[in-house]
Structure 1
Amino acid sequence: MSFVRDKFSTKFFLFLILAFLLIHVPILGNYVKVINTLIHESGHAFIALLGGKVERISLFMNSEGATYSNQSTWIGSFFTSLAGYTFASFMAFLSFLLIGRKKHILLIDILLGFIILNLLFWVRNPYGLFWLCSFAVAFLFLLIKGSQNLRDNLLLLIASILLVDSVQSAYEILNISIYQPQAAGDAANLARLTGIIPAPIWGVLFFFQALWFCYNGLKRGYYRLVK
């Protein structure tokens, strides 16, 4: 039992290292990182729908994304700007939680749900459509033809990518908010909306919530799986 636990422990952390290395590979790294971008932009869209309208979402080859929405209230704009990094970190946490509970099919269904919603309603730029279709085919293959071992390993890798990239992207926005606060995306938007809380404070908030979700995702996923 101890040998099996040690073997899985090694595998678990090797996948995190693999995810970190993979997202830094030229071209391929940007391609796989779009999974986190999709979740991030979908978080903006879901909250925007509560008090406004989502016009479109764009997913780009450099792994960046943009959500275009109309908000009728200040509070709608505030929570829409707040939602992206928070939702991406939460989904990384949820992915490890579901893997820890051996709910792999449910995780595939959730990720497919994001893809289908974006295909039907929001994403219209060519690269975004290509990315969504290619990932949809991969997930459908996992559901229909993939072996349990292949499915489990690929989902652990995807969860690791979500986790690593959610922390890395939050660190990047923290860094930009300090040195180029006007170009700090969501942190800059929140600074403009509040007027009194500068972009670096929002950058710190985004980074620490990412670390919190990362810690708890690893804790829930790892300790459930090694029991």
Structure 2
Amino acid sequence: MSFVRDKFSAKFFLFLILAFLLIHVPLLGNYIKVINTLIHESGHALIALFGGNVERISLFMNSEGATYSNQSTWIGSFLTSLGGYTFASFMAFLSFLLIGKKKQNLLIDILLGFIALNLIFWVRNPYGLFWLCSFAVVFLLLLIKGSQDFRDNLLLLIASILLVDSVQSAYEILFISLFQPQSAGDAANLAQLTGIIPAPIWGIFFFVQALWFCYNGLKRGYYKLGS
């Protein structure tokens, strides 16, 4: 039993290391990181639908993204700005939770659902359309052609990429909020909306919640998968 646990532990953390290395490979890393950007921007968009509307989402070659929406209320703007990093962190946690519960099919449905939703309704820029179509085709081909073990490993790798990049992107916004608060994206928007809570505090919040979801995602995934 101890040998099985040790073998699984090595595999589990090997995937996290592999995810970290992949997202830092030139060109390929930016392509891979767009999966987290897609989730992040979808979080903005889904919340914006409550009391507002989403004009479009853009996904860029440098792995950045932008959601263009209109809100009629202060609370709508506040929640929409809050939704990107928190939703990305939650989805990373949920991915490990579903894998741990051996509900890989549901995770596949969720990932394809996000791709379809953005492809049909929101993403219109050329690179965004290219990324959605190419990722969907490759993802489906790998799922169809690959064995059960390959499928499970592929989903574990995607979950690891979501987890690692959700923490890294939250750290980056924290860093920017400390040294260039006016350029800190969602943290700067929230600082402007609240007026009394500066961007660095929102940067700290985004990073802390990312760590919390990361810890709980790893905890749930590790103990469920290793049992």
Q: After TM superposition, is the score higher than 0.5?
A: yes
Count of residue correspondences: 227
Q: Which residue of structure 2 lines up, in the alignment, with residue 34 of structure 1?
A: 34
- Identify which range, 181-190 or 131-140, moves more after superposition: 131-140
Give the superposition deviation at 1:225. Answer: 0.8
Give the superposition deviation at 1:63. Answer: 0.2
Q: Which residue of structure 2 lines up, in the alignment, with residue 169 of structure 1?
A: 169
- Identify which range, 101-110 or 140-149, moves more after superposition: 140-149
What is the alpha-carbon distance in structure 1 between the residues aligned to residue 117 and residue 125 of structure 2? 15
Conserved 8 A contact 1:108-1:139? no
What is the alpha-carbon distance in structure 1 between the residues aligned to residue 62 and residue 145 of structure 2? 31
Q: 1:41-80 maps to which residues of 2 (within 5 A)?
A: 41-80=41-80
TM-score by length of 2: 0.98
- Gap regions ≥5 residues in structure 2: none
Give the superposition deviation at 1:140. Answer: 2.0
CA-based RMSD: 0.8
Q: Which residue of structure 1 lines up, in the alignment, with residue 22 of structure 2?
A: 22
Q: Deviations over 1:117-138 (max 9, x none)?
A: 0000000011101110111112
3-state SS in 1 of match to 2:25: coil
Give the superposition deviation at 1:139. Answer: 2.7
What is the alpha-carbon distance in structure 1 between the residues aligned to residue 149 and residue 160 of structure 2? 16
What is the alpha-carbon distance in structure 2 between the residues aligned to residue 146 and residue 55 of structure 1? 37
Residue type of the partner of 1:93?
Answer: F
Q: Deviations over 1:111-160 (max 9, x none)?
A: 00000000000000111011101111123224433211111111111000
Residue type of the partner of 2:217?
Answer: G
Residue type of the partner of 1:168?
Answer: Q
Identity %: 88
What is the alpha-carbon distance in structure 1 between the residues aligned to residue 212 and residue 173 of structure 2? 16
What is the alpha-carbon distance in structure 2 between the residues aligned to residue 143 and residue 25 of structure 1? 24
Q: Deviations over 1:54-89 (max 9, x none)?
A: 000000000000000000001000000000000000
Runs of 4+ in 1 over 6 A off after TM superposition: none
